[in-house]
Amino acid sequence: MNIRRVPFDHPDAVKLNDEVQAEYDVRYGDGGDATHLDPADFTPPNGLYLIAYDENDVPVASGGWRSQETNDEGYLDGDAELKRMFVIEQVRGRGLARRILAALEEDARAAGRTRMVLETGTKQPEAVALYTSSGYEPCGKFGFYRFHEDSLCYAKALQVP
């Protein structure tokens, strides 16, 4: 697998985003994630978006982070918010999400971010398993879905204490 940095509005990113939105709709029946994402949010040094390509140059996985600071949605100064982690069904179970997650954490740490945060949901047990096995712990709710009962929020310190 070849992991590349791409803009969030790159055609392959749009394709994978459409696929993850369709999966969210199947799982939650709500049309997908309504969180507003601006392509500029993922522009270094304030963010990063990655896509993994298979040996045939087909996009098969994605993920990104964007900077957040203290605001009325529950974020804290120094947060890096994980967004759009997704692996297409045909290649799940091969460690791609874990590789993308590690690359995103490394980049956010290098950019001076102190905490990686993410929001997932009760109907995504695979995501919860990935994050908890990667050192993420439950944290105070934040973001667009912070008042939704199916929302689960996790955080991991990025800096050495």
So where are the chain's domains? Answer: 2-157
Looking up tokens 């997908």, which residue turns up?
A: 32
- Cβ–Cβ contacts within 10 Å for residue 112, how many? 12
Instruction: State the residue for tokens 């900077």.
Output: 67
Tens digit of each residue's pLDDT (9 = 90 or more) over 71-86: 999 999 999 999 999 9
Residue 7 preceded by cis peptide, ω within 30? no
Helix 96-110 and helix 125-133, axial crossing angle in degrees, nearest 10: 50
- pTM for this model (two decimals): 0.95
Please report the pLDDT score of residue 94 as a whole number. Answer: 95
Q: Tell me the CATH number of domain 2-157, given options 3.40.50.10490, 1.10.530.10, 3.40.630.30, 3.40.50.2300.
A: 3.40.630.30
Once rounded to an integer, what is the mean pLDDT over residues 27-36?
93
Of the pLDDT bands very low, low, confident and very high (cuts 50, 70, 90), residue 160 is low
Mean pLDDT for the chain overall: 96
Mean pLDDT of all residues in 47-53:
98
Provide, rounded to the nearest whole percent, the portion of the chain with pLDDT above 70.
Answer: 99
pLDDT, residue 1, reads 85
